[in-house]
Amino acid sequence: MSNNRLIMIVVDALRFETACSHMGFMQHLVEQGKVARYEVKSEVPSLSRPLYETILTGTPPLVHGIVGNGVVRLSTQESLFHLARRSGKTTAAAAYYWVSELYNHAPFRHGVDRIQLAKDAPIENGLFYFEDHYPDSHLFAEAQWLVSEKNPDFLYIHPMNVDDDGHKFTANSVQYRNRVLATDALLALTLPKWMDLGYDIIVTADHGMTVDGNHGGNTTNDRHVPLFIASKKVKPIVQNQIVSQLQMAPLACHLLGIHPSEAMVPLLIPGLVD
């Protein structure tokens, strides 16, 4: 039985094609019948801040209003953090500071908001970084600290180094591909421990990355990202049909055992266990 606890990992700018070719550990979990794999089509514009909000609220940019990276304000929607707290669950995040600006405080106060513990806020315990090159290895260590010390029911993890290398070197670069390999290695060190603790796991991305070293448009490389799910509530097979990114929030609600918001679309993702 599921413990109705979830760790959601959003690897910034991890495009579907590279995830399939370079995430050997994740593919190993697929082949061993532990994880389901999907292809997700993101909303547009395929930019970070709008899609953080889409993933966490289940609403498109035209509804939630975060239509570009320059829109700096708190969310007006019911996020997974809000819904989890309302259901009596505990929340945490190890993430880029834009996530704090969406759900805890905007604008981000560098001297105050870096470490947020035991807060009466949607994200109860948050560790937020504000440099794109902040090491993913440090972020996963902080996520492990949150698991060990705070034992959250819902933990959101958001590493940035894949996006950073994509912008610096393009998606068609050794650096981008090697960074995806490094991310896969971090997942190999942490996911088995978290799965043993009874967590369901989602690994996905906000958007992809192009050979121009950018994103925001309507191409497959901009929009198509992976979705890996480790849960007894989902059949551990490769699904061939493309899934809307609007399914991510209601899927998370399903795994957490909480009611989705009225703004979320119905959960129609294939492969759910009855």
Residue 118: band (very low, low, confident or very high) from pLDDT cuts 50, 70, 90: very high
Mean local confidence (pLDDT), 134-143:
98
Write down the pLDDT at residue 1.
39
| Confidence band for 116, pLDDT divided at 50, 70 and 90 | very high
The tens digit of pLDDT for each residue in 152-184 reads 999 999 999 999 999 999 999 999 999 999 999
CA–CA gap between residue 64 and residue 54 (Å, rounded): 8
Specify whether the CB–CB gap between 39 and 50 falls below 8 A.
no
% of the chain with per-residue pLDDT over 70: 99
Mapped onto helix, strand or coil, the DSSP state of residue 14 is: coil
> How confident is residue 112, by pLDDT bands cut at 50, 70 and 90?
very high
By DSSP bridging, strand 125-129 and strand 115-116 are antiparallel
Separation of alpha carbons 134 and 28, rounded Å: 28
Q: Using the predicted structure, report yes or no on whether residue 232 has a pLDDT greater than 80.
A: yes
Question: Above 60 in pLDDT, residue 2?
Answer: no
Supply the mean pLDDT for the chain: 98
Residue 80 pLDDT exceeds 60: yes
**Which residue ranges form the domains of the chain, and what is each CATH number?**
6-256 (3.40.720.10)
Q: Quick one: average pLDDT of 28-35?
A: 98
What length is written for the chain?
274
Whole-number Å distance between alpha carbons of 136 and 10 = 12
Q: Which of 23, 49, 6, 7 is nearest to 162 (CA)?
A: 23
pLDDT band at 93 (very low <50, low <70, confident <90, very high): very high
